Structure 1
Amino acid sequence: MVNKFTIIVPVYNEEDNLERVEKELSAYIKIASTPTKILFVNDGSTDNSQALIETICSSNPNFDFILFSENRGLSAAIKAGFDHVDTELVGYIDSDLQTAPEDFNLLLKHIGEFDLVTGVRSNRKDSFVKNMSSKIANGIRRAFTHDGMDDTGCPLKVIKTDFAKRIPMFKGLHRFLPAMILLQNGKVTQIPVQHFPRIAGTAKFGLWNRLIGPLIDCFAYLWMKKKYINYQVAKKSA
């Protein structure tokens, strides 16, 4: 059976979560609505994550990994995943599993008519400060991008791979994926998904990189939008 969907799992110091990641993603592969494989992208973890990832991949033929030589951030991990996948669809989920792998099936139902489908975390199980800072950041981002998305930080997305590979990634751009698909004249939509509290490990984002950082990134996006090259080939020689 040929895999059609790759799930990218960015990992940075998540040794306490990886056993559960293996269990839940292995279970999802069995019920996935399209043949699926998993790609870990280890963003230079300094704990025991890599040893656990290699053990998982050695015993699961549908699991592979990439290891960075040093920590480069979430956007770099997602970009590396986009660069390396060879399936027609690509998605990603955070290794903290605050979203449910089975909800990928909800997103996959809509990917035929859209080029990116993102989750919207309903009834978020985060702290008041985290929820409010994310809400403010999303409002600021929508004002700049007009992408119509309520929760671009949701770590559950499905994208057509040819669109994903054309995204010119920069640090922080994981929050702008719908807007970058719109720059390609693609179509995007959002679907409510489940959300759960983090039960192991520590959050990698604080107030600065959840609120102030994205505000600065909005200006980078506006510059990119102004300079973005988009074209369609009407005809070429045989």
Structure 2
Amino acid sequence: MNAQTPALRLSVVVPVKNEAGNIASLLAEIESACAALAPFEVIYVDDGSTDATPNLLAEAARARPWLRVLRHARSGGQSAAVRSGVAAARAPVVATLDGDGQNDPAFIPALFAALEQAGPGAGLAQGQRVGRKDGRLKTFQSRIANGVRGRILRDATRDTGCGLKVFRREVYRALPAFDALHRFMPALVAREGFAVVHRDVVDRPRFTGRSNYGLFDRLWVGMLDLAGVWWLIRRKRPAPPVTEVTP
């Protein structure tokens, strides 16, 4: 980026695994939704796909200068894909959404505005889904998991599993890295001393294919992570002021 190029306002990170049927339509929606936030970039992180996803992303990137594509040599999971995308992001504010089409990119500008309006003391604008389209069993499991998490962590968030998030890049980089981090972000952002704001977003059915992520919705899979996050919050101590001593 040279001196004549305006600084990016937003990086949109999209983790995907075997989502060939959803690439073209979701990219078009992201481009339309983020037009008012230009200049922006979109970073697709291909988490070891075995279908046509890599080829379709390579083809899409040739026609879109704002699209960047990263690829994991093997699947590392959704949190790892998000972390790779944020590490590569060049804008100070990052948005994330799932690559299956259930998260509507049209809500990104509202989340971006909510974060900006809340000021530098806010680190995360968290989407919270209404009108869930996951099916009764998955929705029920998710409701239980969210209820248990909320009671233990007291993060004041109804739905941490929503992939629609907008946050400050440097705040994310201060968070501990572990699998399922993206599902505990409100509690961990608050742990760092930043406020979390919430906006309702409308859920919708995935475009095509089947879910490749979402194991946390099975309550017992997330219990160890929940215990670990609770421990991290309990062990947090305020950093003392530091001054350099000069002779």
TM-score normalised by structure 1 residue count: 0.92
Deviations 1:120-178 (A, max 9, x none): 11111220111111111001111121101000001100001110111112011211011
Distance across 2 between alignment mates of 1:49 and 1:217: 30
Distance across 2 between alignment mates of 1:102 and 1:145: 30
Q: 1:237 to 1:65 in 2, by over 3 A?
A: farther
Instruction: Give the RMSD, CA atoms, in angstroms.
Output: 2.0
SS in 1 for 2:128: strand
State yes or no: 1:160 paired with 2:168: yes
Contact 1:88 1:162 in 2 (8 A): yes
State yes or no: 1:131 paired with 2:135: no
Deviations 1:209-235 (A, max 9, x none): 542212221111122223446536555
Deviations 1:166-197 (A, max 9, x none): 11120112110111101101100210111111
Distance across 1 between alignment mates of 2:172 and 2:215: 28
Distance across 2 between alignment mates of 1:216 and 1:41: 26
Contact 1:13 1:46 in 2 (8 A): yes
Deviation at 1:237, TM superposition (A): 8.2
Residue in structure 2 matching 1:197, options 189, 193, 205: 205
Match of 1:179, as an amino acid? Answer: A
Q: 1:206 to 1:166 in 2, by over 3 A?
A: closer
Distance across 1 between alignment mates of 2:180 and 2:229: 10
- Structure 1: runs of 5+ lacking an equivalent: none
Residue in structure 2 matching 1:211, options 198, 219, 224: 219
Distance across 2 between alignment mates of 1:189 and 1:232: 27
Residue in structure 2 matching 1:21, options 26, 51, 55: 26
Q: 1:230 to 1:21 in 2, by over 3 A?
A: farther
Residue in structure 2 matching 1:44, options 41, 45, 48: 48
Contact 1:8 1:90 in 2 (8 A): yes
State yes or no: 1:169 paired with 2:177: yes
Moved more, 42-51 or 216-225: 216-225
Identity over aligned pairs, percent:
29
- Structure 2: runs of 5+ lacking an equivalent: 1-5
Query: Which structure's CA Rg is the greater one?
Result: 2
Match of 2:151, as an amino acid? Answer: A
Deviation at 1:97, TM superposition (A): 1.4
SS in 2 for 1:191: strand
Deviations 1:51-84 (A, max 9, x none): 1111111210110011111100001111112211
Distance across 2 between alignment mates of 1:237 and 1:69: 47
Match of 1:106, as an amino acid? Answer: A
Aligned to 2:110: 106
Contact 1:133 1:207 in 2 (8 A): no
Contact 1:8 1:91 in 2 (8 A): yes
State yes or no: 1:65 paired with 2:63: no
1:4-15 alignment to 2 at 5 Å? Answer: 4-15=9-20
Contact 2:123 2:194 in 1 (8 A): yes
